[in-house]
Amino acid sequence: MSSYRITLLAGDGIGPEISAVAVALLERVASQHGFSLSFDPQPVGGAAIDALGEPLPASSLEACRASDAVLLAAIGGPQYDALPRQLRPESGLLALRAGLGLFANLRPVKIVPALIDASSLKAEVISGVDLLVVRELTGGIYFGQPKGRVRTEDGEERGFNTMTYSSSEVDRIARVAFELAQQRRGQLCSVDKANVLDVSQLWRDRVNALASDYPGVELSHMYVDNAAMQLVRNPRQFDVLLTGNLFGDILSDEAAMLTGSIGMLPSASLGSGGPGLFEPVHGSAPDIAGQDKANPLAMVLSAAMLLRVGLKQEAAAAALEAAVDQVLNEGLRTGDLMAAGCTLVGCQAMGSALLKALG
């Protein structure tokens, strides 16, 4: 029997609640599909700051490196906002991405028919949307040097970051996006700001240079401002969207709202070999933490991505996704998705219903 080691990073806020749901489901679905999982909980983010004084302890990173896949819930909270940047929870997440070499972030956005009315957009605009944001995750303005804050001679303070990509950084993320487009509907839209930024012109030139390697893929380019508009005007036009780090951060939150709730969106972050990191797109929701109100579905769908992409356990992944569809079709909703005629449930009750749906 195959057995896999999962590093579990429950993190902060609602993280522990939604992690508990995901772990119970993963254990069940593994036993149903003939493999076993062992979970190694490690501190990250605010939880690690509280316990060990830093947001990504070396021991947590080592545990991640030694595992088959990493499941992360969420990090962050207002109590950490005043800390120096390198000691904030977000810095731990960035160090984790960099430390595991996770340059490719996959954020699928698929409309669940049962939730079509949960979106703030009209049903006719979003019905049938099925797109994938491929976001570069370890470069661009998030990591570019130089960066910082200086006091200038005239007494002003200046803050600055550098948006930078090398050709090899563009090529490796573009190849991931081309390959995923090949497996989907064969359309790749690369997002940039090449009308203004040199870094974007390089991005566009490199993506164009690779296109001949993927003759089945129809490549287009779109400026990021237009992409933001097109996502709410006509999101069905998109199959795979390729973006740099910052543009993908922004556009993936926007795309999340097509589904009605950011509480529905999973993600996978992958490198070249080594374990992948699977996490919901949403944050730690400190305002509802510990109240059994959190929506665990994005976490559960991230667990499904872990099974499919990280462990190549397709049948188990599909079973987990089917369980999510089933509870939604039964009308169960957490507060973020609640609608007339549906049944309001908490995080734990949603977990129990999902276990029941798995059988």
Q: Which residues are catalytic?
A: 142, 193, 225, 249, 253
Tokens representing 354? 């999902």
Contact flag: residue 249 with ligand IPM (CB under 6 A): yes
Contact flag: residue 136 with ligand IPM (CB under 6 A): no
Q: Which is nearer to Mg ion, 17 or 249 (CB)?
A: 249
Contact flag: residue 321 with ligand IPM (CB under 6 A): no
Cβ neighbours for 173, distance < 8 A, ≥ 6 positions apart: 103, 104, 134, 136, 242
Q: From the CB of 90, what's the least distance to ligand IPM, in Å? A: 4
Q: From the CB of 320, what's the least distance to ligand IPM, in Å? A: 22
> In whole angstroms, what is the distance from residue 160 CA to residue 107 CA?
28
Contact flag: residue 169 with ligand IPM (CB under 6 A): no
Q: What is the DSSP string of 156-218?
A: -EEEE------HHHHHHHHHHHHHHHHHTTSEEEEEE-TTT-HHHHHHHHHHHHHGGG-TTSE
Q: From the CB of 298, what's the least distance to Mg ion, in Å? A: 13
Site string for ligand IPM, 55-94 (x = CB under 6 A): -----------------------------------x--x-
Q: In this chain, which residue has its C-beta nearest to ligand IPM?
A: 90
Cβ neighbours for 154, distance < 8 A, ≥ 6 positions apart: none
Q: From the CB of 315, what's the least distance to Mg ion, in Å? A: 31
Tokens representing 166? 């090398």
> In whole angstroms, what is the distance from residue 9 CA to residue 47 CA?
10
Residue with the two structure tokens 């049948």: 315
**Which parts of 233-252 interact with Mg ion (CB under 5 A)?**
249
Which residues of this protein are in contact with ligand IPM, per CB under 6 A? Answer: 90, 93, 249
